[in-house]
Amino acid sequence: MKKIHIVGLGLLGGSFALALKQAKPDLIFTGYDANAKNQADALTLGIIDEACEEPDADTDVIMLATPANTLTGLLLKYLNQIGSNTLIIDFGSTKSKLCKAVANHPKRAQYLSGHPIAGTEYSGPKAAKADLLDKKVFIICEMELTDVHLKGMAYDILEALNMKLRFMDAEEHDRHLAFVSHLSHVSSFMLGKTVLDKMEDERNIFDMAGSGFASTVRLAKSSPAMWAPIMEENKNNILEALSLYISNLSKFRDKIIADDYEGLASDMHKINKIGDILDLGK
Amino acid sequence: MKKIHIVGLGLLGGSFALALKQAKPDLIFTGYDANAKNQADALTLGIIDEACEEPDADTDVIMLATPANTLTGLLLKYLNQIGSNTLIIDFGSTKSKLCKAVANHPKRAQYLSGHPIAGTEYSGPKAAKADLLDKKVFIICEMELTDVHLKGMAYDILEALNMKLRFMDAEEHDRHLAFVSHLSHVSSFMLGKTVLDKMEDERNIFDMAGSGFASTVRLAKSSPAMWAPIMEENKNNILEALSLYISNLSKFRDKIIADDYEGLASDMHKINKIGDILDLGK
């Protein structure tokens, strides 16, 4: 393995390159970003060694790290043009539509469907960090459909990045992510909107943000260019999660209206369990 | 000033004592907690020097740090019994009902209505930390109604604790806090419930929690014994905030249903402004 091409030089693509360069200094990184400023920054920051729209023929791995709604087009385009020794990996937050789109492609075995559970509320190559992926979970979907030799190259990379592998069905992945990740972003954005709509004095928001608001609203800083496409790609699962969330909020509201504070306390006590789950790794 | 009595030896009461002891080592701290285990822990941890249900007659400041729905009763009880040189301060998260309850009390001037914007999702004396209140905002309501000499003692304490004072009308305080703090707790609890209801495999929740879920759901670890009473005390403001939140979530859902991803991206872009506000202090 000697050459990696990255399409999409933002937070994830950039962090991937920075970490892999540290682990494997001999690798050559080429890359492309549709945003010329991002591409220039990625060169300056040493994320890539050379900017080029198309990967060289001797590229071992093409890494797709662009917004979710662009991945199907890019994946089909590169599958159609690559030689038999090249592997394509994607970092998309949704997996089901993508896997279906290439299910019958003659080069399906040259694709590995991945999703690193890592990120921050910031975006672009300047937000990239060499330790972003370190010790994080990397979900692989339909791993049995990827060629075993090419897959070896992917495992080599993921081991160098110190990531923890999990295997999952693509539809199961999207359903889970709608609840555990995508819904959190919607709840956070709408919390931000509700407060901005109502409170005119920004100083007041800032002064009071210590009381839990800062952490619940953190994801509302996230990039719309990344998140609107995720809403599109995972539409049905997100609608299901959002409807259940709204229903739970409405029931909570009904209990306040009914002055059923014992019922609320009992509900909250059960939900406290989430703390034990989040602490599983400690 | 030589003696402080704390009622409620949990996270806030405990952190207050630990910090003030460091700044003023000569002060004597007495205190009481309705939970015998908490009271014993507070003694062991050095939060108080002596446990007693009633403050000594020469107590300078009585600090009330109990759940929101107990404060009115305690405040009235202690106002009725204290001598003219004692000040009562409370740390309650809601201020309006409390201020109204003592508005015509002959000793109203011996009460300072306060609220430290500080906390964690943990509770009890063992969660108390000497630096919890450091550099945090302390909101004072109806400051003009407190006796100027007694108020001097409060300022002396708050300065020793390194807190930043803000002054606010009690009703304005409760309205703002419903949006910036109380709503965040409801959104977080219901997010936790939605995920727990739907995902049976706790390991999956844990593995995927990195993608923003952990920070949005953090407050769902909070104490029901503290939060159910806040829902009760600030009922109308919380209902207003919660209804607006549900309405915003429903509109977001409608845009996903209508495939209006440009509209969603435009909304999210406007909400990104919250990041600038949270960074005001940086």
Per-residue pLDDT of chain A (282 residues; tens, 9 = 90+): 999 999 999 999 999 999 999 999 999 999 999 999 999 999 999 999 999 999 999 999 999 999 999 999 999 999 999 999 999 999 999 999 999 999 999 999 999 999 999 988 889 999 999 999 999 999 999 999 999 999 999 999 999 999 999 999 999 999 999 999 999 999 999 999 999 999 878 888 888 887 689 999 999 999 999 999 999 999 999 999 999 999 999 999 999 999 999 999 999 999 999 998 888 755
Q: Which domains can be identified in chain B, with CATH numbers?
A: 3-168 (3.40.50.720), 173-278 (1.10.3660.10)
Dist CA B16 CA B22 (whole Å): 10
Helix (H, G, I), strand (E, B) or coil at A222: coil
β pairing state of A3-7 and A61-64:
parallel
**Span B6-58, pLDDT tens digits:** 999 999 999 999 999 999 999 999 999 999 999 999 999 999 999 999 999 99
- ipTM confidence score: 0.92
Phi-psi region of B60 (alpha: psi -120 to 50; beta: other; left: phi over 0): alpha
- B281 with B266: CB under 8 angstroms? no
Q: Across the interface, do A248 and B193 touch by the CB < 8 Å criterion?
A: yes
Q: Across the interface, do B220 and A271 touch by the CB < 8 Å criterion?
A: yes
Q: Please give the backbone phi and psi of residue A7, each rounded to the nearest 5 degrees, phi first.
A: -105, 115
- Chain A, window 243-262: residues with a beta carbon less than 8 angstroms from a chain B beta carbon: 243-246, 248-250, 252-253, 256-257, 259, 261-262
Mean pLDDT of B173-186: 95
What pLDDT does residue A207 have?
Answer: 85
Helices and strands per DSSP (H, E), number in chain A: 13, 8
Of A179, A231, A272, which has the smallest distance from its Cβ to B199's Cβ?
A179
Dist CA A88 CA A91 (whole Å): 10
- Chain A, window 93-132: residues with a beta carbon less than 8 angstroms from a chain B beta carbon: 93, 117-119, 121
Dist CA A240 CA A178 (whole Å): 8
Of B198, B244, B262, which has the smallest distance from its Cβ to A198's Cβ?
B244
Dist CA B238 CA B174 (whole Å): 9
